[in-house]
């Protein structure tokens, strides 16, 4: 009997841990892509901001580096979409950035919601990018994310987010392909994969 005791102990421990590991993996299963396997968007890209954070200008620099045909218009309206094939929205609320416009937050929220609704009506791809990660974890930035995810074709964001479980839940519920990167330099490959 002594020779079976170690094996019996291991089997008992494994059976005790099985319900815990099975339950957690079923609830937390969330697929992310290092980059998309095939393009989902076309060029003549409109890059705009949701919340007027400065990070959207960084994405314009990345687009230029990748030789993508893109215009950066941080205050673009739904009526501006007629000349574009896809929309890239960089999300992040900035009180200072918004103060440089003639809008308040509610008007900014309505602007971007009208933009994505028009993009959906026109069958344009919407790529939502959040490159600020932990830096813009305020309620207004999250309100923008919540409003935009249902219209999103592809999401690129940072792995470091205070509300990562909630973000994953929203993306999974809306079946949005997702790439999470460690830092801004990791955005080039997935961003390029959306177009090429």
Give per-residue pLDDT as tens, 63-88.
Answer: 999 999 999 998 899 999 999 999 99
128 touches 148 (CB < 8 A):
yes
Beta bridge mates, 45: 70, 86
Average pLDDT over residues 7-29: 45
- Rounded to an integer, what distance in angstroms lies between the CA atom of residue 70 and that of residue 45? 4
- Averaged confidence pLDDT in the chain: 82
pLDDT at residue 96, as a whole number: 65
pLDDT at residue 22, as a whole number: 41
- pLDDT top residue among 138 and 78: 78
- Rounded to an integer, what distance in angstroms lies between the CA atom of residue 124 and that of residue 115? 11
The DSSP secondary-structure symbol of 158 reads E
- Rounded to an integer, what distance in angstroms lies between the CA atom of residue 111 and that of residue 39? 27
Average pLDDT over residues 147-168: 88
Mean pLDDT check: name the lowest of 36-45, 93-102, 146-155, 169-178.
93-102
- In the chain the first and final C-alpha atoms are separated, in Å, by 64
Strands (E) across the chain are located at: 45-50, 70-72, 86-91, 125-130, 154-158, 178-181
DSSP per-residue codes, 39-89 = ----SSEEEEEESB-THHHHHHHHHHHTT--EEE-TT--GGGGGG-SEEEE
Average pLDDT over residues 117-137: 85
pLDDT at residue 23, as a whole number: 40
CB neighbours of residue 94 within 10 Å = 19
- Rounded to an integer, what distance in angstroms lies between the CA atom of residue 45 and that of residue 48? 10
Domains identified in the chain and CATH numbers: 2-193 (3.40.50)
- pLDDT top residue among 115 and 137: 115
pLDDT category of residue 17 using cuts at 50, 70 and 90: very low
Burial of 41 (0-12, 13-18, 19+ CB in 10 A): buried
- Rounded to an integer, what distance in angstroms lies between the CA atom of residue 167 and that of residue 63? 25
pLDDT at residue 117, as a whole number: 96
Average pLDDT over residues 131-139: 68
pLDDT at residue 32, as a whole number: 83
Nearest-CA neighbor of 141 among 115, 169, 156, 163? 163
- Rounded to an integer, what distance in angstroms lies between the CA atom of residue 87 and that of residue 146? 17
């Amino acid at each position: 009997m002594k020779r079976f005791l170690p094996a019996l102990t291991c089997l008992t421990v494994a059976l005790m841990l099985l319900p815990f590991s099975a339950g957690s993996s079923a609830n937390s299963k969330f697929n992310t892509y290092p980059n998309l396997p095939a393009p989902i968007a076309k060029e003549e890209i409109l890059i705009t901001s949701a919340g007027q954070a400065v990070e959207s200008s960084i994405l314009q620099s990345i687009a230029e580096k990748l030789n993508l045909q893109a215009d950066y218009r941080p205050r673009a309206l739904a009526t501006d979409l007629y000349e574009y094939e896809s929309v890239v929205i960089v999300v992040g609320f900035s009180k200072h950035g918004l103060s440089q416009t003639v809008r308040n937050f509610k008007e900014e929220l309505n602007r971007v919601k009208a933009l994505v609704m028009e993009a959906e009506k026109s069958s344009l791809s919407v790529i939502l990018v959040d490159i600020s990660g932990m830096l813009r974890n305020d309620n207004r930035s999250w309100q923008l994310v919540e409003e935009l995810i249902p219209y999103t074709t592809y999401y690129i964001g940072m792995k470091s987010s205070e509300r990562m479980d909630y973000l994953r839940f929203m993306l999974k519920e809306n079946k949005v392909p997702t790439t999470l990167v460690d830092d801004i330099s990791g955005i080039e490959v997935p961003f390029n994969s959306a177009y090429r």
